[in-house]
Amino acid sequence: MQDALVDQLMGEVIRKMNGGASAPAATPEPASAAPRAKAPAACNLTEFVGTAIGNTIGLVIANVDPLLHEQMKMDKKYRSIGIVGARVGAGPHIFAADEAVKATNSEVVLIELARDTEGGAGHGSLIIFGASDVSDARRAVEVTLGEIDRTMGDVYGSPAGHLEFQYTARASAALNKAFGAPIGQAFGITVGAPAAIGVVLADTAAKAATIDAVGYASPANGTSFSNEVIFTFSGDSGAVRQAIHAARDVGKQLLGAMDPTPLVSTTTPYI
């Protein structure tokens, strides 16, 4: 009997080591839908740039076909495009893309939030950069992929739902396009799933500091019908961070009341 129990426990440990997943992401979700860090398969295609957690892939097209240009309704000055797509994560990827446009000679031409998260409560994402030179498009994708590990730092998930918090001291074009963030100002977001928790996070953030509300998205109004609420705001850098800290403390307690699974950040918290 004892040997059988030991064998069962060892089998469970090995199973988790072979298929383990980290906690879900931003605009992300339950343990079953958590972002996975895994070694990328070998790929020699010229379009392939790399991968990142959240089942994220980065691609580049050096010369976009005129027919695709027309169908995408994209300015023909963007001869090359960089593409980032993820199954899990929207906020982390958009904040990462914001750093990419600051660091490269590229522009964000499209941001869409897919109803995905591998079946969880939140989004996946599609981000397209436009550039006149393929090296700029590729570099924008590389920077984005490199930043995702950091921007996943304040994403927490359990089987019951997820929490996400993002912050930047200076918003740029990607955040402006996705959320209407004032360019050049400190900007933050709180995300809670299920959506009921997101409502309380928004109220907590608004009461915690003097901030300017930028937007509020709920299941039927702005989140692709995902089960979450997203609150976005700007203001003084210290105030934005204070609002996020207060919401994060409350969110952990609320999500913890739904499921005893310890809440652990997906990577290393950065806010």
Strand partners for 125: 86, 113
Alpha helices of the chain — where are they, by DSSP H? 2-19, 66-72, 91-103, 134-151, 173-179, 195-208, 237-258
pLDDT in tens, 138-164: 999 999 999 999 999 999 988 899 999
- The H or E element that residue 168 is part of is strand 161-168
CA distance 147 to 142: 9
Mean pLDDT of the region 6-30: 43
The answer on pLDDT for 25 being more than 80 is: no
Residues 6+ apart with CB under 8 A from 196: none
The answer on pLDDT for 5 being more than 50 is: no
Mean pLDDT of the region 76-91: 91
- Band of the pLDDT at 222, cuts 50, 70, 90? confident
Instruction: Report helix, strand or coil for 14.
Output: helix
Q: Which of 3-17, 58-72, 82-96 has the lowest mean pLDDT?
A: 3-17
Radius of gyration in angstroms for the set of CA atoms belonging to the chain, rounded to a whole number: 19
pLDDT in tens, 113-141: 887 766 677 888 999 999 999 999 999 99
Share of the chain above pLDDT 70, in %: 83
Mean pLDDT of the region 99-125: 85
Residues 6+ apart with CB under 8 A from 56: 35, 84, 85, 86, 87, 88, 89, 93, 145, 148
Contact between 253 and 12 under an 8 Å Cβ cutoff? The reply is no
Mean pLDDT of the region 56-69: 93
For the chain, the straight-line distance linking the first and the last C-alpha, in angstroms and rounded, comes to 49
pLDDT at 117: 65
pLDDT at 118: 67
User: What DSSP string describes 90-135?
Assistant: SHHHHHHHHHHHHHSS-EEEEEEEEE-GGGSSSEEEEEEEEESSHH
pLDDT at 14: 43
Mean pLDDT of the region 94-116: 90
The mean pLDDT value of the chain amounts to 86
The answer on pLDDT for 17 being more than 80 is: no
